[in-house]
Structures are given as structure tokens and as C-alpha cells.
Amino acid sequence: MQACGLIVEYNPFHNGHVFHIEGSRKATGADCLIAVMSGSFLQRGEPAIIDKFHRTKAALSRGVDIVLELPYLYAVQSSDLFAKGSVQTLHEIGASSICFGSESGDISRFTRAYDVFQQKNSAYQTTLQEKMDLGISFPEASRLAYQEIGLAASGMDLTKPNNILGFSYVKAILDNGLSIDPLTITRTKSDYHDQTITGSIASATSIRRELLKQQNISEAVAVSLPEETTHQLWAYKQEAGVWHSWEDYFHLVHYRVMTMTEQELAAIHGVVEGLENRIKQTARDATSFHEWINKIKTKRYTWTRLQRIFVHILTNTTKTDAAHVQKAATVPYVRLLGMTNTGQTYLNARKKEMNVPLISTLAGGKDSLLTIEERASRAYYSIIPGEKKKFFHQELEPPIMM
Amino acid sequence: MQACGLIVEYNPFHNGHVFHIEGSRKATGADCLIAVMSGSFLQRGEPAIIDKFHRTKAALSRGVDIVLELPYLYAVQSSDLFAKGSVQTLHEIGASSICFGSESGDISRFTRAYDVFQQKNSAYQTTLQEKMDLGISFPEASRLAYQEIGLAASGMDLTKPNNILGFSYVKAILDNGLSIDPLTITRTKSDYHDQTITGSIASATSIRRELLKQQNISEAVAVSLPEETTHQLWAYKQEAGVWHSWEDYFHLVHYRVMTMTEQELAAIHGVVEGLENRIKQTARDATSFHEWINKIKTKRYTWTRLQRIFVHILTNTTKTDAAHVQKAATVPYVRLLGMTNTGQTYLNARKKEMNVPLISTLAGGKDSLLTIEERASRAYYSIIPGEKKKFFHQELEPPIMM
């Protein structure tokens, strides 16, 4: 059986994702589609609007055969580590290709761009460092350095968000010499950052914005979602009483910062260059998460980077924890969240050839990444009013079958 | 000027306290009454129902001339350290006597009991250890050991809660050789642990219970409180939106335990003998603070002891922090919360003779106890909905004058 990997967040799972799934199956002819998905917290440093289990169900209903969870320490990271953890997970599970959506839609441009990048690597590094020394954020400095080394000449427009993401996947595959074929299909219509919904394909950002604002699934949102997502969104809201957003966590992370010592804050992953003082100083006056981040934000510390840092504060993830993945040769395990019958057939055949453990629950895990996973999950569910037991318990149950 | 010291919590300040103040003035003829008061959290491991500033105002309105704050690391401790910090604070501020309410009302019985205790100290220690080895809590083991060495023969009934407290004050004074005269007056009517209110003198426990249950000041409660307390209770509720009780903190301390590593939990002051595992294991199912403590409680770990431990978790107070006071020769500073004109006259004369700093705000404090004080205050106010700034800011303002 041939498997194709997808790198996803499904926050929430929408029609654009269905389009991506169907396009990927067509482009690769794969028998099995494997999605590696961020869990409780996402790459941009935000809590997922509904939990990973409910998102898994939506994905399995519309063409994904296997959903794997990207470990927290890869999921809530800059795009390089995010990409590395994702492609390594797909490699360990035996995917022979990955297929991602991009503005470009032409994989040869990505590989050409990689060649240019390789040849001019030292120029890239120098420019990157120069820009960062000026106080420019990493993503922006990297974009400028790409420009400087003439990556555009490869036909690659690295100002487009999905091209950037795709390039990081290609780079992760080629840097690590993985036997995975990268493929890309053109994303239709909606931009990643689109804020408004028009038509049946809308960006996840615009969908979340509407959902959180209305606390309801409006007509406009409903047409952009598969039926199963609508169902899972309602089911989650009924069970948990909430769709998660950062403001729900403000009181917890604020309490936490208020009672941490400066040394403890400085030990958190991502807190560097005296940022602990800035976070502490701004805490006293903060009355909302939005206001707080706005006060800390600089050219160098972008909103996204700060959000990731605040997720690490919330989940108590330290530099020592993060060191586990920074030098790891590959992911420590592959965690199965859910599968279809096709997915199960694939895994039965694949299991014995795997080089890392395939796990389906957090129970009894002694790997330190699993302890971090558990903390992240606990922190995620902490805002649910009343009894949280059944939510924690999902982490101990067998994978979802659909 | 002669000053008499009172050791208090005023949670809240009630008619029994007024009786104690007037009795103390009569018994000592002191020109100035100085109360050393627990701040945000109390000796039994509970948050104060309203903050220390509002309690200070109530006390100053009815005969106390100076209110000092007992540092957190003495306030939220077993009675021995609580008593030691209190009498040392009063000694540093120059009180020549202390006056406490007791069931006994006869100071000679306390000093006789201390003599017996001194003579039979090794027998006391042996019995104490034996009882504790059987899994009996410290307070109960100590009571049994007092019985065994025949302390009752001194005429002292150490089954009565206020006699026990008073004995710990007398012991702290005599153990440390302080030049303070201990005096006692008989407590009228209500027992410390009384749960119901009858008449104008009611226990603080029964008053709090009623206040928290009704979320209102009932007629029965009102008659047990000085007018200024009623006023301060309402003012606080208007400003902060809450009268504090443990359940308000459940979501914070639960989140905290859920995201702490076992090592971090084991580093908290009071967490010994593998208690971290028990706290972690019971956390998953806990749906309220009351239920949680009930699940952890054993003969050895009494409710009060566990509550103190949970305050230390909430305020992030570690064994390293606690070590600051365990071997300290005296208190590191004296903190002034408020005073009357008489109090100010007394302090002006006294100030230059003091051996430790007299401070009135937490601003710029570099003493590590002040950092802990700040954390305790931040944790205390964390449950206030919305803007907390003005509450934190009280810690930086000049002392209350009344």
C-alpha cells in the first residue's frame, strides 16, 4: 500500500481541507492518506478551537485514513522544527510522499529554490544574521535573506504564506535525506490570512473568527464546513461548554506569571534576552491577553512568537524540555489518534517495520516527551468549567475508529 | 510610651476582637496597642475573606493603634513558627507586653506549664516522636505528649484551642528570652470553633461561614460586627466583586498542580514523604477544593496542614524559600500596614531604636521575604475578575492613617 502524508492543523477542518485531501489522493494515487496534526496547541501559539479528538473525527469522515498527533514540542515551534517533526513523523510511518497546498502549485520551483538555497547558504546565513542584529524578527529576516540570495529567480514567491510553509517541508525532507517525494497542489481561492468568508472555501482564520465572535455557527460559516465539522463543533461545545481561544486562558497564564520567580520565567522555552523582565513588568497592568501581548510586542518579538512563548509558560515547558527535540535524530514515537479501516490495514502491515514505537495513548509513557504532552493536554482542558476528568480520560482511550 | 502587642488575624474583625482590645488596654494600661496580623493568607491555610488593607481599617477604627503584617512565611505555618514570628515582630517594634485571650485567663498557669514543659522536655520529645511514628498528626501528637508529661497538673487545659495558641506565644517568648510580659484575659462565650452565631459575640469561623453562604450580611452577622467591619466588607465586595474563600482558588491551584512536574511539586514547602504523588493522583478526579482535600486527608495529614500546603502551591513557596525563616534569629523587617495618630507618635519615638528595618510598602524591597510577600499578594488577588492593578497597587501605597 502506498501512503501519502499531509501536514495539517484542521483548526477547524473545513472545505479547503477536503479539497486538499481529494487533490492529494488524485495527485499521488495513494491508497492511504496520513495526516500528521498538531494537538492541543498550534504552530502560531494558539489553543485549538476544539480538541484534537473532535478534529480527528471530522478529518476521518472526509477522506483521511490515519490521524497522527505531532508532538507538542514540534507543533508549537518555529516553522523549521514544525516541518522537521512533521516530515519525520510521516517518514517513520512509511509515507512515500507528502502533498501540500501552495500558492505556487509547482513542485519543481520548490526543489530549484532549495538548490539555490543550498548553493548560497553562507550568504543566506550572513544576511539573516545581519537582519536579526537589526532587531528584525526571524521570519522577516529570513524572507529578506531569501530575497537577497535571489531565491525568486527560481520562480518561487516566498512572500506567500503557504509557499513558505511548503518550502520548509521540502527543506526538511532534503536536509534530512528522507525518502519522501514532495508534491504540491495549488490552493484555491482563500488566502491563509483571509479575514472574511466568501463562498464555500474560507480560511481557517476567518472561520475561527466568526465562530468565536458569534459563539454560534452562522449560515456563512456553515457553507464552508463539512457536515461532520459542524457536528463536532456543536458536540464539543455541548460537552466542554467552550470553544477555546487565548482570552479563556488569560487568567491562568496571568496568575502563573504573577507567581513565578524571574529565574523560573527565564527557564521557559523561548524566553531569552531578558524577555522575562518585560513579561513581568507588563503583567501588572494587563487586563486581557490581547492587551498584554500588544504591550510586549516589538519588531523582533512578533505576535506569533510571543504567543508561542505564552503557550510554553501556560504548559510549563522549559528550555530543558525543548532540548529534547532540538538535537533529536528523529521523533521519539508516533502517536495514533484515529484511523479508518483502510488506515488500520495499512498500519497492521507497517507496524513491524517501524523504527520508533507506535503508541495510541499517553498511559504509562515514560518518554519525557509524553510527560510534556500530558501537561499540554491538562493545560488545554484547564479552562473547562466543572468536571474535566472525561476530557483528560480521552488521552487514555484506544484510537478513534471511523 | 508603653506598648502592648496583640497577635491577630481579624478574619473578619468582630465584636470579640473589640472585647479583646478593650480588655488588653485595661489589663496592661498600655498607651499604644500594636496588632501583628496575618496578611493575605492565614495560619489555618485559608485566604482571608477580605484583604489586609480593609481589615486594617476596621481594626484601627476600634482601638488598635498600629497594625503590622506578619510575613507570609510566619503566618502560613504551624503554630510554633507563627508564634515565633509574631512575638519577634512585637519585640522588634518594642512592645513590653502581649495580651491574648484564652479559655484559662490565668497567666501563671501558662508559665507554670512552661516550667513543667522545660523540665520534661526530653520525655515530651520522645512521646511526640512515638505518636508521630504511628501516623498521628503533629498537633494531636503534641497534645498527647503534653498529657503524658502531666502538663495538666499545672492547671493548664491544653485541649482548648486558645490555650494552645497562648501557650505557643508564652513558649516563643521564653524560648527566645524576649523581654515581653505575657498577659491573658478570659475569652467570653464563643469558642474558636463555634459554627453558629448566638448573640453579639460570635466566632470568626461562624461569621465567615454565614457571610460566604449568604453572600450578604445577615441581621445575625451584623450584630456580631463593629460598624466599620460591615462597611469594609461591603466596600471590598463592591471593589473586588468577591469575598475570598478556597473554592474561588480551586481552578488556579488545580491548573497549577496539573502542569507542575513531580519534582517541582516535591520542592514546595510542606510537600514531604511522597505527598506529591498523592496530590497528583487525586487531582485528575477532583471537581472542587473540598472534595480534593477530603481525598488526600489522612490521620497524619490534617485538613489544616493540607490547606497550608495548598496555599504554598498556590503562591509557589518552596522549601528553599521556607528555609529563610526556619533558622532566622529574628524577623527580617517589620511592615507597617496602618496606624492612628497615637500609633504614629509611638513609631516616631521608636523608629531610631529599631534593629530591623521598618517598612511600609513592598516597593524596591530586595529582601527575599519581600519577593515571597509579593507573590502571595499577587496570588491572593488573582481571582478578582477584571482589572487587578489597583489591588496590587495598595502594596505600594503609604500606610493607612486613621
What does the pLDDT look like over B184-218, one tens digit per residue?
A: 999 865 555 556 666 788 999 999 999 999 999 99
| Beta bridge pairs of residue B358 | B334
Q: Assess whether pLDDT exceeds 60 at residue A367.
A: yes
Encode pLDDT of B225-239 as tens digits.
Answer: 999 999 999 999 999
Q: How far is CA A393 from CA A2, A57, A337, A365, in A?
A: 33, 17, 14, 15
The residue behind cell 484601627 is B60
Given B315, B387, B389, which is nearest A259 (Cβ)?
B315
Measure B375 CA to nearest chain A CA, in Å: 5
Q: Assess whether pLDDT exceeds 70 at residue A206.
A: yes
DSSP annotation of A398: P
Cβ–Cβ < 8 Å for B70, B85: yes
What does the pLDDT read at residue B367? 72
> Which residue is closest to B380 within chain A, CA to CA?
A255
What does the pLDDT read at residue A386? 82
Q: Assess whether pLDDT exceeds 60 at residue A112.
A: yes
Superfamily of domain B3-103+160-188+329-401 in the CATH hierarchy: HUPs (3.40.50.620)
B285: chain A residues, CB-CB within 8 Å: 389
Encode pLDDT of A52-68 as tens digits.
Answer: 999 999 999 999 999 99
Report the percentage of chain A scoring pLDDT > 90. 82
Domain extents in chain B: 3-103+160-188+329-401, 246-324
Q: Do A260 and B316 touch (CB under 8 A)?
A: yes
Q: Do B379 and A255 touch (CB under 8 A)?
A: yes
The closest alpha carbon to A191, from A170, A167, A161, A171, belongs to: A161
Cβ burial, residue A184 (10 Å; 0-12/13-18/19+) = buried
What does the pLDDT read at residue A364? 67
Q: Do B259 and A316 touch (CB under 8 A)?
A: yes
Q: Do A371 and B287 touch (CB under 8 A)?
A: no
Contacts of A197 (CB under 8 A, 6+ apart): A206, A207, A210, A220, A221, A224
Q: Assess whether pLDDT exceeds 80 at residue B84.
A: yes
Most B-contacting residue of A320, A378, A387, A390 (CB-CB within 10 A), to test interface = A378
The overall average pLDDT reported for chain B is: 93
What does the pLDDT read at residue A287? 92
What does the pLDDT read at residue A152? 81
What does the pLDDT read at residue B150? 87
For A334-359, b where at least 16 C-beta lie within 10 A, e where not — what string? Answer: bbbbbbbeebeebbeebeeeeeeeeb
Q: Assess whether pLDDT exceeds 70 at residue A134.
A: yes
> Which residue is closest to B262 within chain A, CA to CA?
A371
Confidence of residue A194 (pLDDT cuts 50, 70, 90): low
Confidence of residue A365 (pLDDT cuts 50, 70, 90): low
A378: chain B residues, CB-CB within 8 Å: 255, 258-259
Q: Assess whether pLDDT exceeds 90 at residue A12.
A: yes
Contacts of A14 (CB under 8 A, 6+ apart): A201, A202, A204, A207, A224, A225, A226, A229
B382: chain A residues, CB-CB within 8 Å: 251, 254-255, 258-259
Q: Do B382 and A260 touch (CB under 8 A)?
A: no
Confidence of residue A160 (pLDDT cuts 50, 70, 90): confident
User: What sign results for the dihedral spanned by CA atoms A86, A87, A90, A91?
Assistant: negative
Task: Give Cα A350 to chain centroid, integer Å.
Answer: 25
B287: chain A residues, CB-CB within 8 Å: 386-387, 389
What does the pLDDT read at residue B199? 75
| Beta bridge pairs of residue B182 | B98
What is d(CA A91, CA A85) in angstroms, rounded to the nearest whole number?
10
What does the pLDDT read at residue B365? 63
DSSP H helical segments within A93-180, as ranges?
107-119, 121-133, 138-148, 161-175
What is d(CA B321, CA B300) in angstroms, rounded to the nearest whole number?
24
Measure B27 CA to nearest chain A CA, in Å: 43
The annotation status of A8 as a binding-site residue, yes or no, is yes
Contacts of B208 (CB under 8 A, 6+ apart): B11, B12, B49, B245
Q: Which CATH class is domain A3-103+160-190+329-401?
A: alpha beta
What does the pLDDT read at residue B195? 62
What does the pLDDT read at residue A299? 85
* Angle (deg, nearest 10), helices B107-119 and B161-175: 60
Given B371, B382, B389, which is nearest A255 (Cβ)?
B382
The pLDDT of A162-180, averaged and rounded, is: 95
Encode pLDDT of A182-193 as tens digits.
Answer: 999 998 655 555
What does the pLDDT read at residue B259? 96
Q: Assess whether pLDDT exceeds 60 at residue B175.
A: yes
SS3 A401: strand
Confidence of residue A230 (pLDDT cuts 50, 70, 90): very high
DSSP annotation of A351: G
> Which residue is closest to A381 within chain B, CA to CA?
B255
The pLDDT of B283-305, averaged and rounded, is: 93
Confidence of residue A159 (pLDDT cuts 50, 70, 90): confident
What does the pLDDT read at residue B158? 85
